[in-house]
Structure 1
Amino acid sequence: MSFLKAEWNNLAMINYEVNPQILQKYVPKGTEIDFFNGKCYVSFIGFLFENVRVLGMKIPFHSDFEEVNLRFYVRRFENGVWKRGAVFISEIVPKYAISFVANTFYNEQYQTLPMKHNLKVNESSREFIYQWKVKGIWNTIHVETNKNPIPIEVDSEAEFITEHYFGYTKINEKETFEYQVTHPRWQQLEVINNTSEIDFETVYGPEFAFIRELKPTSVFLAIGSKITIEDKRKI
């Protein structure tokens, strides 16, 4: 039985190229940074975590919520193949119990903050808004997209960002948790306007303040799907 079954829906993905040296201290043992065309990426993602079941059970008042996370990409060579995964620097949710379970059982970096979202359907576009409050100020992911889904092209940056099917967590300098994430290949909505307002320094600390001055390499909306998260193993 999967540890968790749920849906990840309406994933607004804002992606930046960064110097890989910034991320080295976060790289779990047994993995290395995964590059796309020689570029190292971090992604800032807002989405809806819905219909959550843990070990088959639906937890009252904790089955549908927003999440915002900051992640980067790694790979691990095992049994003759590369396993491609993500490492989460920070994950923000609105429920304390979610943070407790994730931090306790998966050693993740969850924190609990006030959050809200709004999805709008306009005459010729859609809008996706995710907000979270830090020190009394609302931060916002706000993207406007075309209405019609389009494929995520093979060998594209969007494919690189979305097609990572493992999670890796640094326990300490010698140990790593690995868990598998399953989902079908996603479609996307093309972003036509990005008016996000994020105080990176307040949310993520001084070491990530520089992101505010960067222009995203890409912004897109992955439609999402049902997913599973399998039980962790120590490597």
Structure 2
Amino acid sequence: MSFLTANWNNLALINYVINPKMLNKYLPKGTEIDLWNDKCYVSLVGFMFNNTKLLGLKIPFHINFEEVNLRFYVKRFENGGWKRGVVFIKEVVPKRALSLIANTWYKEHYQTNKMSHGVTENNTSRTFTYQWKNNNHWNSIQVETKLDQSAIELNSEAEFITEHYFGYTKYDKNITFEYEVTHPRWEQFEIINYKIDVDFENNYGKDFAFLNESKPVSVFLAKGSKITVENKRKIKS
């Protein structure tokens, strides 16, 4: 049985190119930075967890909720092939129990904050908003899209950002945990406009303060799908 099942919906993905050396101290042992067209990415991602089940069971008041995370992309060579995954700098959710479970079981970097979300629609567009409060400051991601969805093209930047199926966690300098995330190939909505009001230093520390003055190289809105998270394992380097 999967550790967790849910629907990940309406994923707003805001992507920045950075110097990969800046991520060395966050890199789990046994992995290396995954590049696209020789560029290293970090992504700010806001999305909805819906119909969430832990070991097949719905936990009251923890079924539908927001998450916002900052992540980067890695790969790991094993059994003659590459596994492509993500590493999370921090994941923000609105329920303390979620943070407790994720930090205890998966050794992740979850934080509990007050959060909200919204979706508005008119005849030509749809707007998705994610907000969270950190140190008395409200941060927000807002993405406006066209109504029709389309396939994510092969070998595209959007494919690189969305097609990573493993999570890696740096427990310490010698121990890395790996877990698998399964989902079908996603579709996307064409972006019309976006607005980012985020204090990166306040949320993620001085290492990421430069993002306050950086412009995203791309923004995507993925429709999402049902996902599963499989049980973790300690990997051997």
Report the TM range for the smaller structure's normalisation: over 0.9
Aligned equivalent of 1:180: 180
Distance 2:207 2:89 in 1: 12
1:226 counterpart residue number: 226
Q: Show structure 1 runs of 5+ residues with no match.
A: none
> SS state of the match for residue 174, structure 1?
coil
Q: Which amino acid aligns with 2:199?
A: D
Q: Tell me by how many angstroms 1:232 deviates.
A: 0.3
TM-score (norm 2): 0.98
Taking the TM superposition and a 5 Å limit, the aligned residue runs for 1:1-235 are 1-235=1-235
Aligned CA-pair RMSD:
0.6
Equivalent position amino acid for 1:8 in 2: W
Structure 1 vs Structure 2: percent identity of aligned residues?
A: 64
Query: SS of the residue aligned with 2:123?
Result: coil
- Cα distance in structure 2, aligned partners of 1:213 and 1:134: 19
Moved more, 31-40 or 133-142: 133-142
Counterpart-to-counterpart distance in 2, 1:199 and 1:169: 24
Q: Deviations over 1:171-213 (max 9, x none)?
A: 1111110000000000000111011211111111111110111
Query: Aligned equivalents of 2:108 and 2:82: distance in 1?
Result: 23
The structure 1 segments of at least 4 consecutive aligned residues displaced by more than 2 Å after TM superposition are none
Q: Distance in 1 between matches of 2:202 and 2:172?
A: 26
Cα shift at 1:100: 0.1
Amino acid at match of 2:18: V
- Deviation of 1:28 after TM superposition, in Å, equals 0.4
Unaligned runs of 5+ in 2: none
Q: Distance in 2 between matches of 1:136 and 1:29?
A: 35
Q: How many residues align?
A: 235
SS of aligned partner of 2:38? coil
Structure 1 length as normaliser, TM-score?
0.99
